[in-house]
Amino acid sequence: MALLAALGAWAVLEPGLAQAQQNAAPPDFPEQVRSGAPAPERTMFPQVRTMKAMVAGGNNFVTEAGLRILRQGGNAVDAGVAAMLAGAVTEEDHFSMGGEAPILVKLQGRPVAVVSGIGTAPALATPQFYAGRPPLPWERADRRPPIPSQGILATTTPGMVDGALLALREYGRLSFAQVAQPAIELAEAFPVTEVLADTLKRDEGMLRRWPNSWSYFTGDSAGRLPVAGDIFRQPQLAATLRAMVQAERQAGGEREAAIDAVRDYFYRGPVARKMGEFSEANGGLVRYGDIAAFAAEIDTPRSTTFHGYEIVKPGFWTQGPVMLQMFNILEGYDLQAMGHNSPQYLHTLAEAAKLAFADRDTFYGDPKFAKVPERVLLSKAYAAQRRGLIDPDKAMLRSIPGRIRGYGGPLPDAGGTPLEVKDTTSLAVVDAQGNVFSATPSGAWLPSVKAGDTGISFGTRLQSFVVQAGHPNVLQKGKRPRVTLSPTLILKDGQPVYAVNTPGGDNQDQAMLQVILNMIVFGMTPQQAVEAPRFQTNALYASFGNHEYKPGDLSLESRIDAATAAALKARGHDVTVRGPWSNASAPSVIRLAGTHLEGGADPRRARFVDGY
């Protein structure tokens, strides 16, 4: 099945094959698509169905690692951690070991838990440090963001590793050695994927600025960057992972204490010391003490209801509650009667997104440091008030946050020009007992700075802070940046029915909103839902780089008909029609259908789903 996902993604690049699929007679789907949705069409990637377990991720190595652990007796959390570590080894195009990950866990008979594996700002990183800084050698004066978007001055402490260990310790059954074994084998050797090869080629100039990184990626290929199909070996990373396993074995005793020993080895032992020393020697801000002080934590999820479903997200240190606010606003409309992707439907969704993101940009931040009006923002009464701002015939052309006395702060300076976002991956696991693991790992992506001989890359998430004094997301020592990473679980009568997640930066919750509505309002299968054409708005303050704002922006995939695009322009939207599969996100879905599981993998980029 994972191979089929790869073929689905490849078909996007092959017009002949895509046209042949479009011209083929549609199959007879057993599912009935509700009124208002388009007629069932043949999907580019076949609908995956299994009886017991399923894994969705960013490549075949990730899904295979998760399934391997499930077959060895692990639960969804064991498999999820194994899959995440495998992704950290093989998906540095979008994520690696020094990155971050929010995680949702739903074990049978227990409430949903959130694990915050989000790194924090080092003590030396202050708004004063970055004020008036000169452009770095790779930056242009007209594109210089307030906090660098690349390089060693953009890094937080690594968060994913501790988040993974905390999830494993509290909710898993297996040892670190067991769940890390697939990643160790992959670090020893794996064939390079097209997306990794393409990203390395794109970032060659930046990688050459860091000899340590250049040698890391070229050491096994005679001084050149590896290409697709080359066998890539990472002996330094493999050695670090094996040393972490050895720390667990030497600890002995109870499973939990042994996993704590792995954490201490990474965060208070040799790995942290090497990362801190490299950072200091090379002009970075992270020190050993910053890493040693970091601890992932368990949080309470935030949720709302929509059409009898409970939508569950991580808290306001992510953008996750944006989705909850959008659902609350949209609850007041008959979306099915509007018709799927009709002008009125797309206009209403885009305007709801603008309102929710205006609140995100004004009120969201790490609640341990900032006052966030959570109850107001997630209340149905507030949503009704916000809904009243939507004009059915006219697009909003400015950010309109709510007015909540005593909360919020100045919006970011949206000057400068957009910078490329390197993005994210995502994964989900459902096991035979109905336990669910959903995560959005990200960060420490290419072009990365490798920390000495650890094989660990420094991340660049510090750029997601703002430097405006008084803002809830202003840069502060020990604080988590408000991240875009936003895994999703959907419950019905207390039981999980959907795990949904995606890469895509600021677009993550916009894309997932549309996919979820495709399923619960218009009755699409997971595969139909992820493949259906989508919109995206950048009428928000970007979470990266220059935090730019684009008034009225609305991008449509060209599979949305021209008459609809014209009707949206007439409402005042700044419409850009892009390629048929151009949306910046690529969701995956696992549906728990009662008697079986159904998976959806978006062919817009590498998404894989497999099971048994």
Domain boundaries for CATH 1.10.246.130 within the chain? 302-418+486-593
**Rounded Cα distance, 516 and 513, in Å:** 5
**Rounded Cα distance, 608 and 75, in Å:** 20
The dihedrals phi and psi of 528, each to the nearest 5 degrees, come to -60, -40
Total residues found in the chain within this entry: 612
Query: Which amino acid is residue 80, in one-letter code?
Result: G
Burial of 461 (0-12, 13-18, 19+ CB in 10 A): buried
**Rounded Cα distance, 150 and 458, in Å:** 10
Handedness of CA 361, 159, 62, 104 (dihedral sign): negative
302-418+486-593: CATH topology is: Serum Albumin; Chain A, Domain 1 (1.10.246)
Nearest to 117 by CA among 158, 170, 159, 172: 159
Measured in whole angstroms, how far is the alpha carbon of residue 54 from the centre of its chain? 19
Cα 409 to Cα 71, 78, 243, 356, 403: the distances in Å are 50, 40, 45, 16, 11
477-487 burial code (b ≥16 CB/10 A, e <16): eebbbbbbbbb
Identify the residue with better confidence: 412 or 196: 196
Predicted confidence band at 130 (pLDDT cuts at 50, 70, 90)?
very high
The dihedrals phi and psi of 424, each to the nearest 5 degrees, come to -155, 170
pLDDT at 435 over 80: yes
What's the pLDDT tens digit per position in 557-576? 999 999 999 999 999 999 99
Considering the entire predicted model, what is its pTM? Answer: 0.93
**Rounded Cα distance, 492 and 194, in Å:** 39
Query: Which amino acid is residue 325, in one-letter code?
Result: Q
Identify the residue with better confidence: 135 or 580: 580
Identify the residue with better confidence: 144 or 203: 203
What's the pLDDT tens digit per position in 244-269? 999 999 998 899 999 999 999 999 99
With contact defined as beta carbons under 8 Å apart, do 377 and 320 qualify? no
What's the pLDDT tens digit per position in 86-124? 999 999 999 999 999 999 999 999 999 999 999 999 999
What's the pLDDT tens digit per position in 387-407? 999 999 999 999 999 999 999
Work out the number of other CB atoms within 10 angstroms of the CB of residue 581: 22
**Rounded Cα distance, 43 and 374, in Å:** 40
pLDDT at 140 over 90: no
With contact defined as beta carbons under 8 Å apart, do 231 and 446 qualify? no
Q: What is the pLDDT of residue 142?
A: 76
Q: Which residues contact 212 (CB under 8 A, 6 or more apart)?
A: 278, 449, 450, 452
First-residue to last-residue Cα distance in the chain: 10
Q: Write down the mean pLDDT value for the chain.
A: 92
**Rounded Cα distance, 278 and 449, in Å:** 10
The angle formed by the CA atoms of residues 263, 268 and 271, to the nearest 5 degrees, is 85
Burial of 404 (0-12, 13-18, 19+ CB in 10 A): middle
Measured in whole angstroms, how far is the alpha carbon of residue 266 from the centre of its chain? 24
* Strands 231-232 and 190-191, sheet pairing: antiparallel
What's the pLDDT tens digit per position in 152-196? 999 999 999 999 999 999 999 999 999 999 999 999 999 999 999
Q: What is the pLDDT of residue 29?
A: 32
Cis? peptide before 146, omega within 30° of 0: no
pLDDT at 3 over 90: no
With contact defined as beta carbons under 8 Å apart, do 475 and 127 qualify? yes
Predicted confidence band at 606 (pLDDT cuts at 50, 70, 90)?
confident
Nearest to 518 by CA among 509, 527, 506: 527
216, containing H or E segment:
helix 211-218
pLDDT at 23 over 90: no
Nearest to 322 by CA among 164, 169, 485: 485
User: What tokens does 282 get?
Assistant: 């090379």
> For 44, which DSSP code?
S
Q: Which residues contact 553 (CB under 8 A, 6 or more apart)?
A: 537, 538, 539, 574, 576
**Rounded Cα distance, 392 and 373, in Å:** 28
Q: What is the pLDDT of residue 411?
A: 83
Among 134-138, 162-166, 299-303, 394-398, the least confident range: 134-138
**Rounded Cα distance, 84 and 9, in Å:** 21
Q: What is the pLDDT of residue 221?
A: 61
**Rounded Cα distance, 266 and 263, in Å:** 5
The angle formed by the CA atoms of residues 78, 83 and 87, to the nearest 5 degrees, is 150
Q: Which residues contact 403 (CB under 8 A, 6 or more apart)?
A: none
Q: Which residues contact 34 (CB under 8 A, 6 or more apart)?
A: 336, 521, 522, 523
With contact defined as beta carbons under 8 Å apart, do 525 and 610 qualify? no
Predicted confidence band at 416 (pLDDT cuts at 50, 70, 90)?
low
Predicted confidence band at 422 (pLDDT cuts at 50, 70, 90)?
low
- Please give the average per-residue pLDDT across 211-219, as a whole number: 93
**Rounded Cα distance, 328 and 333, in Å:** 10
- Please give the average per-residue pLDDT across 423-436, as a whole number: 96
- Please give the average per-residue pLDDT across 44-53, as a whole number: 96
Q: What is the pLDDT of residue 174?
A: 98
- Please give the average per-residue pLDDT across 34-45, as a whole number: 63
Nearest to 559 by CA among 524, 531, 538: 531
What's the pLDDT tens digit per position in 504-553? 999 999 999 999 999 999 999 999 999 999 999 999 999 999 999 999 99
